[in-house]
Amino acid sequence: MRTFAVNFVKTPCSTSNRNVLPHRHGKQQPSWTTTDTKNDRNNNNNSTTGKRGSISIVPRSDNGAYPHTLSTAIKDPITPHGPRFYEYGGFDIDPELQHNRKAYINERIDVVTKHFPNAIGMDDFLFRTEVMLRRFGFTADNSIALTSLCRDEITFPLKTAIHDIFGYSLDVDGLGGVITAGTTGLGAGFSHAPIDFATGRERYVLFALPHIAIDAEGKIGSVIRSGRAQQSCACGALVKMQPMFKQYKEGTLNRESEETCWHDPLDPEFSILTNRMMKAIDKEDIPDKGLGLVEVTKLANRVIQSDMADLIEKTVDVEKADYAVITGIQIHSTRVAKSKVWHPHLEFIAPTSMYIVNNGIKHTMDIMGIDPPTPRQLFKIGAGEVIYELPKPKGGGWF
């Protein structure tokens, strides 16, 4: 049993037996290109002594789990964060424990980046995005955010984080993240934007992201939902669409048929999603086995990017407004069903495009050119109070 000197940390639930770890203790220039668009129009028991004290780490059980109950996790949920938030282990954590924290986090990152190589934590992504936007004058007090995410409730950590930066956003989304509000919806959102006191200009920030799940074991589409014991899937609308691509490839489905083109008044958003997705791919580009969920999600992202560009051209007046467009893929990574080991719910974003139109000039941005915040900074920005022990890495740890 190891003992550490730490600042006192309060667990969020007095009935919880969660183990808590103690706190521990080159700028790159972004690249962009410019284009003129004016004319053409993303407790464990702890003991403290004054302000300093100690905390004991309970040994692991044989299955690699800390004594943390899943039922407690459901009753006392933890806000999802990106992986680097959990890498922070406190300023005086034992070096061996910190090594294992980082090894575990890297394993969780690897199962996501296998399919989305540029994926980063959601909080990391938003930090860099906010920094980039501020360089062009977009701030919480002078901009309105419009979001096109899937209607699924598990997308709300991202929506909530966007609200935290820009205030309440206007939703223009539908199933699968495809934009269903149209020109009227976007126009309404733009008319709600703050007006700059000095210049009289408006500023819009548009976020558009479909989503997918990849669980802690690397299974595509697999996600755990609160209150449900069995594994669920995300994105459900895109999963429902998957068989259509194979049928289209085999010739048993015509993409001009009623099934893919007819507007169903009782299922309007899925009708729009199906219509847009099926028209966005040629038969020869579909493998014989059809499209996997990763490929379907990437296709949805391309459809959303194209739709966004068309809608902006018809709705934004660059003579009176500046705007930013941020697109990507939201990725949820949770534990697997029936798991006896607690795993943190991680949220990732795979950025796909970001551009800003400022005074009619288009700037294509690379947010990966912004240096990321450190794990400690992410922990503090995320108002972290409790450092949870993480599962033992599969590759082995120094215990």
- What is this structure's pTM? 0.79
| Contact between residue 127 and residue 312 where contact means Cβ atoms under 8 Å apart | no
Of the pLDDT bands very low, low, confident and very high (cuts 50, 70, 90), residue 6 is very low
In the chain, the percentage of residues whose pLDDT exceeds 70 is 78
- pLDDT digits over 285-330, tens only? 999 898 999 999 999 999 999 999 999 999 999 999 999 999 999 9
For residue 268, being part of any structural domain is answered with yes
User: What pLDDT does 54 receive?
Assistant: 33
Mean pLDDT of 46-58: 34
* Total of domains in the chain: 1
Q: What percent of the chain has pLDDT over 90?
A: 53
Structure tokens at 162: 């966007």
Query: What's the CA gap between 222 and 331, in Å, rounded?
Result: 11
Average pLDDT over residues 163-181: 91
Query: Can you give the pLDDT at residue 294?
Result: 97
Buried/exposed 58-68: b ≥16 CB within 10 Å, e otherwise: eebeeeebbeb
Q: Which residues contact 378 (CB under 8 A, 6 or more apart)?
A: 81, 82, 84, 85, 88, 121, 123, 124, 127
Record the tokens describing residue 337, joined without a space.
Answer: 């069903």
Tell me, yes or no, whether 58 lies in a domain: yes
For residue 397, tell me if it sits in a domain.
no
Inside any domain, residue 393: no
pLDDT at residue 261, as a whole number: 65
Q: Mind spelling out the 3-state secondary structure of 104-161? A: HHHHHHHHHHCCCCCCEEHHHHHHHHHHHHHHCCCCCCCCEEEEEECCCHHHHHHHHH
Whether 398 is in a domain gets the answer no
Check pLDDT > 70 for residue 21.
no
Residue 355's nearest CA partner among 210, 158, 206, 209 is 206
Q: pLDDT tens digits for 81-131?
A: 999 998 888 877 788 888 888 999 999 999 999 999 999 999 999 999 999
Average pLDDT over all residues of the chain:
80
395 part of a folded domain? no
Confidence class for position 149, pLDDT limits 50, 70, 90: very high
**In the structure, what pLDDT confidence band is assigned to residue 14 with cuts at 50, 70 and 90?**
very low
Per DSSP, helices labelled H in 138-232 are 156-166, 182-191
Tell whether 396 is covered by a domain.
no
Distance separating the N- and C-terminal Cα atoms of the chain? 11
- Digit-coded pLDDT (tens) for 235-293: 999 999 999 999 988 888 877 766 666 677 888 889 899 989 988 989 889 998 989 99
Buried b (16+ CB within 10 A) or exposed e, 344-381: bbbbbbbbbbbbbbbeeebbebbbbebebbebbbbbeb
Helix 268-278 × helix 236-250 angle, to 10°:
40
Q: Given pLDDT bands bounded at 50, 70 and 90, which one contains residue 45?
A: very low
pLDDT tens across 184-206, in order? 999 999 999 999 999 999 999 99
Tell me if 271 sits within 8 A of 244, measured CB to CB. no
Provide the pLDDT for residue 321.
96
Strand order in the sheet with 52-56: 3-7, 52-56, 46-49
Q: Residue 365: which of 29, 134, 32 has the closest Cα?
A: 32
d(CA 363, CA 366): 10
Identify the domain containing residue 167 by its residue range: 3-25+32-388
Q: What angle do CA 147, 132, 158 make, to 5 degrees?
A: 30
Residue 48 has pLDDT above 80, yes or no: no
Q: Is the pLDDT of residue 208 over 50?
A: yes
